[in-house]
């Protein structure tokens, strides 16, 4: 236990027989109450923003929102911030990776919609792993693209809705499989937040479920389109840019409220809080230090999949540390599993690598490359280079602002070595040999998404012509999602 304090050791979840075997001498140095507190398995709260890039986040240098994300920035200041984390460039494939720890060509979670691909019975989902380790599991917010229900995927309780886009001012939602209808429109992010708070309160030291550690997956609809007014928007506000800013501010406010609740309930020191996003910004990327991020949601450019990743664990994660370690979203499952001391399923290829050691302040075993896939396109990227399915090599030294295509016949030593190195990774992964989608099906999926976006715009235009309904002032389509 040389590099691991006893307190930290107990927190790893390596408890039970190990703790029991420590016996007398160590046991006599702490009170029973302290020991019980230390031995409690850590809780995990995973906050996932929707359509939110580095350029939306103050602590990543966003010029536009630098004073709008104070609560998220505070999580980074009190914990770790990973500079190079990669989701998939689209909602559904990202959520598949989170829940399975596996790349899309293994699961079939290739593009939107991914419902039915993969199936929960064919996978070993994160929530099920945690549940089988004794955790209470709760899903809050966006789910639909995963298919089935959060319950099928291992969540003991959940609140969600039947949509892949934003679900804001509405008269219905789904709670634990039951449709709930309300007489008046409610702001669903607030309803979902209350559900999360109730879950936390039941798991607080004095709550009815205090004996159980928990996993709360807080998958906000914010800031996916349609970009509508929030409860904090100026009355009558219709300017789409102002409303977009309001949505950013509202997500940050909810993050702050969630963390304050965790503090108030006495859960903070035993709770790992992770904040990330499911893909990059929609529409126009914002600037960082005056330069525009290269690429947005749905693209295979850096801005499509490079997202913020913040891990805050009071008393465990080093405060204010910034890491350049490469992380991709298949890493979330093994990271959370290791954090709670759960074993990974046998006989299942998990692509991810745990970054729990880094969260605990150690060097860990950082990745040498990350992998990103969307439909029939993919790339593998390492510290300075990126190679895609077409064999195109990009020099990434100026990312996330620019990526330079390298001429195929360039004899530059570093480029030649990178092509060889990354090519070997792709050969080993062999995405083309895994589950795939036909060009026709991919085009059809894109077309459906486009039509859906058009319907959304049409609906919003009609809403504007007719004037806003009570509690629902529609924005123009200027900043709407083009795709789910
Ligand atoms: Ca998204």
Nearest CA-CA partner of 73 in 325, 340, 252:
252
3-class SS string, the chain = CCCCCHHHHHHCCCCCHHHHHHHHHHHCCCCHHHHHHHHCCCEEEEEEECCCCHHHCHHHCECCCCCCCHHHHHHHHCCEEEEEEECCCCHHHHHHHHHHCCCHHHHCCCCCCCCCCCCHHHCCCHHHHHHHCCCEEEEEECCHHHCCCCCCCCCCEEEECCCCCCCCEEEEEEECCEEEEEEEEEEHHHHHHHHHHHHHHHCCCCCCCCCCCEEEEEECCCCCCCCCCCCCCCCCCCCHHHHHHHHHHHHHHHHHHHHHHHHHCCCHHHEEEEEEECCCCCCCCCEECCEECCCCCCCCCHHHHEEEEEEECCCCCCCCEEEEEEEEHHHHHHHHHHHHCCCCCCCCCCCCCCCHHHHCCCCCCCCCCEEEEECCEEEEECCCEEEECCCCEEECCCCCCCCEECCCCCCCHHHHHHHHHHHHHHHHHCHHHCCCCCHHHHHHHHHHHHHHHHHHHHHHHHHHHHCCECCECCCCHHHCCCCC
- Partners of residue 394 on adjacent β-strands: 386, 405
pLDDT of residue 22: 26
Please state the separation of Cα 320 from the chain's center in Å. 20
Q: What distance in angstroms lies between residue 279's CA and the mean position of ligand 1's atoms?
A: 5
Q: What distance in angstroms lies between residue 340's CA and the mean position of ligand 1's atoms?
A: 28
Looking at residue 41, the DSSP 8-state letter turns out to be P
Q: What distance in angstroms lies between residue 415's CA and the mean position of ligand 1's atoms?
A: 33
Q: What distance in angstroms lies between residue 26's CA and the mean position of ligand 1's atoms?
A: 49
pLDDT of residue 116: 60
Q: What distance in angstroms lies between residue 324's CA and the mean position of ligand 1's atoms?
A: 24
Q: What distance in angstroms lies between residue 95's CA and the mean position of ligand 1's atoms?
A: 9
The pTM for the full model equals 0.88
pLDDT over threshold 90, residue 10: no
pLDDT of residue 443: 85
Q: What distance in angstroms lies between residue 120's CA and the mean position of ligand 1's atoms?
A: 21
pLDDT over threshold 80, residue 364: yes
Beta carbons of 439 and 195 less than 8 angstroms apart: no
Q: What distance in angstroms lies between residue 44's CA and the mean position of ligand 1's atoms?
A: 22
Encoded tokens for 324? 């350049």
pLDDT tens-digit map of 326-343: 999 999 999 999 999 999
Q: What distance in angstroms lies between residue 222's CA and the mean position of ligand 1's atoms?
A: 9
Thinking of the domain 43-368, which architecture would CATH place it in? 3-Layer(aba) Sandwich (3.40)
pLDDT of residue 4: 34
Q: What distance in angstroms lies between residue 278's CA and the mean position of ligand 1's atoms?
A: 5
Q: What distance in angstroms lies between residue 48's CA and the mean position of ligand 1's atoms?
A: 10
pLDDT tens-digit map of 462-471: 444 433 343 3
SS3 128: helix
pLDDT (average), residues 402-425? 96
Q: What distance in angstroms lies between residue 274's CA and the mean position of ligand 1's atoms?
A: 17
Share of the chain above pLDDT 90, in %: 77
Q: What distance in angstroms lies between residue 166's CA and the mean position of ligand 1's atoms?
A: 10
The pLDDT mean for the chain works out to 87
Kindly tell me the sign of the dihedral angle through the C-alpha atoms of 221, 222, 225, 229.
positive
Q: What distance in angstroms lies between residue 382's CA and the mean position of ligand 1's atoms?
A: 24
Nearest CA-CA partner of 471 in 227, 218, 170:
170
The pLDDT-based confidence of 440 (bands split at 50, 70, 90) is: confident
Q: What distance in angstroms lies between residue 203's CA and the mean position of ligand 1's atoms?
A: 29
List of E strands, 76-129? 80-86
pLDDT (average), residues 416-422? 98
- Partners of residue 268 on adjacent β-strands: none
pLDDT of residue 267: 97
Task: Name which residue leads in pLDDT, 466 or 252.
Answer: 252
pLDDT of residue 476: 29
Q: What distance in angstroms lies between residue 109's CA and the mean position of ligand 1's atoms?
A: 14
Q: What distance in angstroms lies between residue 91's CA and the mean position of ligand 1's atoms?
A: 4
pLDDT of residue 445: 79
Q: Identify the burial level of 201 via C-beta atoms within 10 angstroms of its C-beta, where 0-12 means exposed, 13-18 middle and 19 or more buried.
A: middle
pLDDT over threshold 80, residue 29: no
Q: What distance in angstroms lies between residue 330's CA and the mean position of ligand 1's atoms?
A: 17
Q: What distance in angstroms lies between residue 90's CA and the mean position of ligand 1's atoms?
A: 6
d(CA 44, CA 273): 6
pLDDT (average), residues 384-397? 98
Q: What distance in angstroms lies between residue 321's CA and the mean position of ligand 1's atoms?
A: 27
Task: Name which residue leads in pLDDT, 377 or 8.
Answer: 377
pLDDT tens-digit map of 62-121: 999 999 999 999 999 999 999 999 999 999 999 999 999 999 999 999 988 665 678 999
pLDDT (average), residues 215-228? 96
d(CA 460, CA 467): 10
Q: What distance in angstroms lies between residue 110's CA and the mean position of ligand 1's atoms?
A: 14
pLDDT over threshold 90, residue 441: no
Looking at residue 50, the DSSP 8-state letter turns out to be S
pLDDT of residue 287: 97
Q: What distance in angstroms lies between residue 402's CA and the mean position of ligand 1's atoms?
A: 22
Task: Count H helices and E strands in the chain, helices first.
Answer: 14, 17
Task: Name which residue leads in pLDDT, 407 or 36.
Answer: 407
Q: What distance in angstroms lies between residue 429's CA and the mean position of ligand 1's atoms?
A: 26
Q: What distance in angstroms lies between residue 252's CA and the mean position of ligand 1's atoms?
A: 17
Q: What distance in angstroms lies between residue 271's CA and the mean position of ligand 1's atoms?
A: 26
Cβ-Cβ contacts under 8 Å for 70 (sequence gap 6 or more): 58, 252, 256
Q: What distance in angstroms lies between residue 445's CA and the mean position of ligand 1's atoms?
A: 16
Q: Which of 168-182, 206-220, 373-387, 445-459 has the lowest mean pLDDT?
A: 445-459
pLDDT (average), residues 230-257? 97
pLDDT over threshold 50, residue 379: yes
Q: What distance in angstroms lies between residue 307's CA and the mean position of ligand 1's atoms?
A: 11
The pLDDT-based confidence of 362 (bands split at 50, 70, 90) is: very high
pLDDT of residue 459: 52
pLDDT (average), residues 434-461? 76
Share of the chain above pLDDT 70, in %: 85
Q: What distance in angstroms lies between residue 24's CA and the mean position of ligand 1's atoms?
A: 52
The pLDDT-based confidence of 39 (bands split at 50, 70, 90) is: low
Nearest CA-CA partner of 286 in 244, 238, 230:
244
pLDDT of residue 467: 36
Q: What distance in angstroms lies between residue 50's CA and the mean position of ligand 1's atoms?
A: 4
The pLDDT-based confidence of 142 (bands split at 50, 70, 90) is: very high
Q: What distance in angstroms lies between residue 63's CA and the mean position of ligand 1's atoms?
A: 21
Cβ-Cβ contacts under 8 Å for 1 (sequence gap 6 or more): 9
Where are the domains positioned within the chain? 1-39, 43-368, 377-433, 446-479
Q: What distance in angstroms lies between residue 224's CA and the mean position of ligand 1's atoms?
A: 6
pLDDT (average), residues 382-390? 98
């Amino acid at each position: 236990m040389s590099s691991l304090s006893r307190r930290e050791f107990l927190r790893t979840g390596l408890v039970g027989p190990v703790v029991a075997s420590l016996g007398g001498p160590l046991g006599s140095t702490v009170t029973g109450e302290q020991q019980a507190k230390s031995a409690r398995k850590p809780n995990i709260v995973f906050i996932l923003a929707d359509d939110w890039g580095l350029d939306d986040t103050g602590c990543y240098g966003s010029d536009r929102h630098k004073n709008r994300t104070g609560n998220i920035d505070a999580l980074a200041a009190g914990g770790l911030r990973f500079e190079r984390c990669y989701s998939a460039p689209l909602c559904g494939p990202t959520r598949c990776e989170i829940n399975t720890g596996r790349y899309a060509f293994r699961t079939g979670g290739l593009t939107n919609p991914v419902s039915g691909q993969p199936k929960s019975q064919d996978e070993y989902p994160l929530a099920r792993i945690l549940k089988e380790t004794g955790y209470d599991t709760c899903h809050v917010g966006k789910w639909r693209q995963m298919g089935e229900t959060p319950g099928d995927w291992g969540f003991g309780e959940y609140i969600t809705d039947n949509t892949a886009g934003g679900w804001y001012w509405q008269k219905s939602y789904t709670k634990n499989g039951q449709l709930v209808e309300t007489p008046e429109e409610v702001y669903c992010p607030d309803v979902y937040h209350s559900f999360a708070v109730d879950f936390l309160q039941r798991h607080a030291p004095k709550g009815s479920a205090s004996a159980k550690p928990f996993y709360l997956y807080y998958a906000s609809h914010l800031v996916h389109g349609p970009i509508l007014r929030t409860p904090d928007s100026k009355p009558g506000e219709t300017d789409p840019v102002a409303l977009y800013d309001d949505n950013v501010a509202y997500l940050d406010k909810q993050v702050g409220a969630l963390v304050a609740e965790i503090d108030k309930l006495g859960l903070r020191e035993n709770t790992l809080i992770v904040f990330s996003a499911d893909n990059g910004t929609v529409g126009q990327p914002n600037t960082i230090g005056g330069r525009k991020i290269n690429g947005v949601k749905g693209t295979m450019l850096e801005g499509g999949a490079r997202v913020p990743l913040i891990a805050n664990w009071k008393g465990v994660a080093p405060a204010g540390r910034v890491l350049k370690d490469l992380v991709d979203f298949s890493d979330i499952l093994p990271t959370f599993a290791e954090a709670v001391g759960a074993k990974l399923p046998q006989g299942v290829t998990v692509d991810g690598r745990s970054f729990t050691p880094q969260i605990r302040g150690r060097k860990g075993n950082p990745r040498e490359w990350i992998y990103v896939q969307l439909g029939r396109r993919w790339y593998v990227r390492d510290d300075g280079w990126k190679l895609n399915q077409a064999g195109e090599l990009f020099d990434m030294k100026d990312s996330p602002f620019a990526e330079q295509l390298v001429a195929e016949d360039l004899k530059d030593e570093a480029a030649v070595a990178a092509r060889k190195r990354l090519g070997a990774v792709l050969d080993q992964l062999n995405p083309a040999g895994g589950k795939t989608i036909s060009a026709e099906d991919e085009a059809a999926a894109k077309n459906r998404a486009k039509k859906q976006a058009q319907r959304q715009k049409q609906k919003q235009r009609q809403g504007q012509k007719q004037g806003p309904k009570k509690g629902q002032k529609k924005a123009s389509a200027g900043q709407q999602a083009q795709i789910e």
